[in-house]
Copies of this chain bind each other. A is one copy, B any other.
Amino acid sequence: MQPGERRAQILEHAARLFGDRGYHETSISDIVASADVARGTFYLYFANKRRLFEELVDILFLRIRSCIQTVTTDPGDRSPRDQLVDNLVRVFALLCEEKHMLSILFRGAVGLDREADDKLRAFYAEVLGAIENSLTLGRTIGIVRPCDTHIAATVALGAIKEVLQTLLTSPPSRDPEQDIREYANAILDIFTRGVVMDGVSIP
């Protein structure tokens, strides 16, 4: 067995279990039984249950980050909108493939304790910042209308999270890639143009 393989093995099984049952409902016994290693072996690779979980969350954050590309406006680049859609599609695709991870993000890591909450908040703050930057850039180049970019970014983040949330329970699709792209486009469409009929002014 390769060095590091044991570690990966435990991480993988733990991810599935945490995703399926949640943090508190998953015991070390469950994990070592699933990964087929001895109890003691677990503690050779991880300081404790909490750290293992943190590591999974860190890995998840890392992978999500790696999906997100800063939007550019260099001539010859894809349109900003397409770049945003691509970002969304990559994140959605990643999390669709490993729903455990998505579940850990939304169910396992929420409300665990102050520390986990802070970590989660920090991550979302980071994403929020990235969205806000995009919006500011949009304003600079005259695509985005004047608005509270912070709230706008919050709305966008919320929309993305909510759609991901629904993915958790949606049945597997025949052409997931196509679905994802449609979802991403729909979100962006509503977020950019709103839902109001053109030419109608709401008092």
Interface residues of A (CB under 8 A from B): 21-25, 79, 81-82, 103, 106-108, 110-113, 117, 121, 135, 138, 142-145, 147-148, 151-152, 154-155, 157-163, 165-166, 169, 183, 186-187, 189-198, 200, 202-203
Give the contacting residue for A112; candidates B22, B159, B193, B195; CB below 8 A.
B22
Is A190 a contact partner of B152 (Cβ separation < 8 A)? yes
Is B147 a contact partner of A189 (Cβ separation < 8 A)? yes
Q: A142-B197, A155-B190, A190-B194 are in contact. List 17 more A-B contacts (CB 8 A).
A: A21-B113, A106-B111, A108-B111, A110-B110, A110-B111, A138-B195, A145-B196, A145-B198, A147-B186, A151-B186, A152-B195, A157-B162, A158-B162, A159-B162, A191-B194, A192-B195, A193-B196
Is B81 a contact partner of A202 (Cβ separation < 8 A)? yes
Q: Is the interface of A mostly helix, strand, loop or mixed?
A: helix
Copies in the complex: 4
A111 and B121 contact, Cβ closer than 8 Å, known pairs A187-B155, A202-B143: no
Give Cα distance in the complex from A121 to B106, angstroms: 13
In this complex, the member of A113, A162, A195 whose beta carbon has the largest number of chain B beta carbons within 10 angstroms is A195
A163 and B158 contact, Cβ closer than 8 Å, known pairs A106-B111, A111-B111: yes
In this complex, the member of A111, A135, A183, A189 whose beta carbon has the largest number of chain B beta carbons within 10 angstroms is A111
Residues of B within 8 A of A103 (CB): 111
Is B197 a contact partner of A194 (Cβ separation < 8 A)? no
Give Cα distance in the complex from A148 to B143, angstroms: 24
Residues of B within 8 A of A158 (CB): 155, 158-163, 165
Is B162 a contact partner of A154 (Cβ separation < 8 A)? yes
- Which single residue of chain B is at the shortest CB-CB distance from A110? B110
How far apart are A109's CB and chain B's nearest CB, in angstroms?
8
